[in-house]
Structure 1
């Protein structure tokens, strides 16, 4: 009996040992299979159903990734009422609202449902059902472009929305009735649309609100309603940003030597009417403020007429009463900035900017040292104020011989060279460096044509960082020629200056006015291309094709 018991224990130990050896090894290949939908309630393509919740059953445990953004529901539902949960291998969407009669609903899950272990998203997952006897099947498709693209911009954050023609809401006030998101290339399709008339918009939904923010998010719109009776293709949107808020005063007062007019945003046109402007009264501009300066104190208030305009056309047309009493405080310091670091061939072109209007310039302390005994003296014929009503920007053009024994030219303004209108001198010396280069090191010519648009144009040459290095106004024709350019890789940008005001004008949604078109030289793949310039080269025959205008 004892022997039998020992034999049984021995056989059990062997069995356990074999079981241990047969267990699954740790690790193994990574799970790359996406979760698969086993069933749903309602089923996709189901008719005559009004569910209170949507239930999805999968073949493995799953998780949700930002369902409020990634689950696209059309037509519009109150997303704040919807509760989406994931439990083990099921997703439950509680609608908490009544669905419309005879309406096709689409729940496009995109990448919102993922497996629990590796985050693989369920592929092409979409549930379509109707509360009526048929499924709406019309589609609207097209593409989205951005006039001012940024490197980190992602077209997948762009919403394209349709609003019913008689809907009192719009892209700034409520989510659209039908919506979709663009793909990474800017292409989009809105599916399962009911035949009707719609207004169409696109915007960069950076904050995931399904509404556009006019101050901070780029947008575009079709000027006319669209009739969807059959599949509609080729809609084009061109995004750009425009602050549509009303232009208004924040405050105005005399502060430390200037009468300050504070606005809520930047203006593009400033028409100031006041007696003595440009003679005894000048002004400067900083961000969203205008500062009026007077050479002398003025005991009584004087009338200042203002006609101001922002970039979208909002205006202020009014009069204020400005005061210039004796200033008891120490005036602000006079500050100077220069466009140092530029190269030149035969004429050094310097720009000096001041924070206050300049009253006097002592030319004997404005010069370029050549060596310990010689210098180039700057005389009054070499400089001028770019705006005589401001006197805050000084352009200096200095002819330089290429026989001088230096390459780096240091424009020097000693302390007390400049006296501003408040009686303050520059307290520190200014030294700005410029490099003289040989003409033969430059590229000779860059020329070409602009196709698909009529001028006038603003042609801009951008460096590898996207910074503007040259700008030319083309008032007539479609040809352009740029000469004497430094070698390097450049981009070419064109603004279609439709109204000829020599600046880009953004869209104004409330006036149903589209932004002026902006387009670029592109390579064979359709991406923004680079133009390579080398010393002594002539690069001719560049074709810049206008992008497709907003519409269809």
Structure 2
């Protein structure tokens, strides 16, 4: 029952349809259900309002909307909002078979207002929501009647961002603001900026819309004027942008609904809300430059470990002093890419470490004027060993055994305690030679005698061959080491690490380690070859192979024109994500709202079939060519619409397949139950009939 609705410039026809969309489409074929029948799935139906819908020259403060049944309000703080935004949110009260709205603010003259209820109005019995319900009025003689549609998407993941707020600003009244504004978390930028945009912080939007779960929004009751458009994730539901918390997106230039191409809108009977072809495309990102820098927390969870948490990425630390501890015995580990979480490992014998370590750290912190200035915080870090319940029980048991032995005149031998040295070795079973062998430790290592480590390969019969290997520390994780060699597929290997090869900062040494494993055969995997055709000779890209859950399986950085091979790809569906690495730093760079800098573009390679998923099979070689000039060509809204259309067809196909599978499972369960009933029918005598005998 999905129907297309042609779009005219004024959209007068669809206004009423959107207003009553849920009631109309769900009432058209269902009058009601008799008592004891199927579960009620019909949302409330609007019967009328006082003042009437689309009232002009509105002067009142109270509105009452009636429904055909008793209703309730759910999540109104999250779902309800006004457009334009009012300083004081109207109060909503359920009275009888209706909802009373009291306006607490003074309304602006000659302004069209929309009260957007979202899905907050539900029937009282089953909680069926009346999705997309709105009440519109004007304090002037006319109702603004223009429409605009769009699509909000995560700039990196390329997934739709649901329930975003779309802010529309009159371009004539909201030129870029140039007064001094906070420039956060980046000490390397100049203090004087040429021009920047702080509109969303200092100006209330002239109109607000909200995207649905599929990222599509339909903004209604707009004027035929130029707008500047922003999208806000609004994680906390406060109708305001919280930098560093909410995603944000903005469009370059201005947009007038009367100048945009027509679009089709329809009621999605599966999702149960209005959707449309987008006219605008907004890429959303988290602007990391907005977090205020300060030392948020200091902890000492282990005797040899200190954790420092900063509120913003890339803290600039001038000095760090721990009283009584030589700075050369402090090992620094950056836990997060932005270095806002730092572990300090103390390469000091445990008996020399006090319960409380004091010190000080000097770093750049934002002051009350949002300027980065030197600041010194005192450090006070306490740690004391606390027994676990299991350790307490074991100690009490040991004490009882010792006392018993002493009473009976026996020599007591305490049980051997487990080695506290902890590690995780990936060399188990079959391993992928692309991954090599990894060893992760709980503590950083301070000594290693790698000459004692042995790696052998088993040949025919009892033949054994020593294998040359390389053991190196991971470039990011200082507690992770990688062992690589010239692996031979389908061959068996044995890794032997004698005791005391490793020594960590806590003074702990390893017990002997032995691992047997084999190398997987390439015949069990697929190979994907990507021929890259760059936009220019200097263009750099990041190629990421993703699974169907959007997890990165393999990555090729600093890709230029040439051939790149993804080997040992597990059978299944994968897709190729490409990042246009403009600055060539090997990572995706987010946007900057203040400087109006868009994030680096990310695109998914889509074959001619239109399905972004590439089916990998065992022992298959697939080769594709990616023309970056075509992949990163200027965004065309018609291309976006076509991509969404194909995605929707695939979604519908998957939905049909899931329903068929579910129906088959239900049928199978029914057949199984009938079979059981036939073979063991209940007998009135209290026994089960299984043929001629009674049991």
Aligned length: 505
Q: TM-score, normalised by structure 2?
A: 0.59
Q: Does 1:500 align with 2:584?
A: yes
For residues 436-515 of structure 1, the aligned pairs below 5 Å read 436-449=519-532, 455-477=539-561, 480-489=563-572, 490-515=574-599
Given that 1:145 and 1:238 are in contact with CA atoms closer than 8 Å, whether structure 2 keeps it comes out as yes
* Corresponding residue number in structure 1 for 2:220: 191
Structure 1 CA distance for aligned equivalents of residues 302 and 128 of structure 2: 63
Structure 2 CA distance for aligned equivalents of residues 122 and 403 of structure 1: 61
Given that 2:88 and 2:104 are in contact with CA atoms closer than 8 Å, whether structure 1 keeps it comes out as no
Deviation at 1:104, TM superposition (A): 0.9
Q: TM-score, normalised by structure 1?
A: 0.72
TM-superposition CA deviations, 1:165-206 (whole Å, max 9, x none): 549875568874421111343222212224556542213334
Structure 2 CA distance for aligned equivalents of residues 28 and 348 of structure 1: 58
Q: Does 1:160 align with 2:153?
A: no
What secondary structure does 2:93 align onto? strand
Deviation at 1:460, TM superposition (A): 0.9
Structure 2 CA distance for aligned equivalents of residues 155 and 254 of structure 1: 38
Unpaired segments of 5 or more residues in structure 2?
1-32, 178-197, 262-278, 321-325, 353-358, 386-418, 641-695
* Corresponding residue number in structure 2 for 1:67: 76
The structure whose residues are more often strand, as a share, is 1
Q: Alignment RMSD, CA only? A: 5.0
Deviation at 1:87, TM superposition (A): 2.1
Structure 1 CA distance for aligned equivalents of residues 490 and 111 of structure 2: 82
TM-superposition CA deviations, 1:124-180 (whole Å, max 9, x none): 643322111222233333211123559xx8744222122455498755688744211
Given that 1:440 and 1:535 are in contact with CA atoms closer than 8 Å, whether structure 2 keeps it comes out as yes
The partner residue of 1:383 within 441, 446, 471 is: 471
Given that 1:260 and 1:290 are in contact with CA atoms closer than 8 Å, whether structure 2 keeps it comes out as yes
Deviation at 1:92, TM superposition (A): 1.0
For residues 141-180 of structure 1, the aligned pairs below 5 Å read 141-149=149-157, 155-163=161-169, 165-166=173-174, 171=200, 176-180=205-209
The partner residue of 1:131 within 139, 158, 180 is: 139
For residues 310-321 of structure 1, the aligned pairs below 5 Å read none
Deviation at 1:384, TM superposition (A): 3.0
Q: Does 1:516 align with 2:600?
A: yes
Deviation at 1:541, TM superposition (A): 4.3
TM-superposition CA deviations, 1:236-281 (whole Å, max 9, x none): 211233443134345789998979572415756999999xx99987
Instruction: Check 1:398–1:304 CA distance in 2 against 1; reply closer, same or farther (3 A cut).
Output: farther
* Corresponding residue number in structure 1 for 2:101: 93
Instruction: Check 1:139–1:397 CA distance in 2 against 1; reply closer, same or farther (3 A cut).
Output: same
Given that 1:366 and 1:378 are in contact with CA atoms closer than 8 Å, whether structure 2 keeps it comes out as no
Deviation at 1:373, TM superposition (A): 8.5
For residues 28-427 of structure 1, the aligned pairs below 5 Å read 28=37, 34-80=43-89, 82-122=90-130, 125-149=133-157, 155-163=161-169, 165-166=173-174, 171=200, 176-194=205-223, 198-223=227-252, 226=254, 228=256, 230-232=258-260, 234-243=279-288, 244-250=290-296, 262-264=308-310, 267=313, 283-287=332-336, 288-291=341-344, 335-340=422-427, 349-354=436-441, 356-363=443-450, 365-368=452-455, 382-387=470-475, 392-401=479-488, 404=491, 406=492, 409=493, 411-420=495-504, 423-426=507-510
The structure whose residues are more often helix, as a share, is 2
Given that 1:195 and 1:228 are in contact with CA atoms closer than 8 Å, whether structure 2 keeps it comes out as yes
Deviation at 1:401, TM superposition (A): 4.4
Instruction: Check 1:29–1:398 CA distance in 2 against 1; reply closer, same or farther (3 A cut).
Output: closer
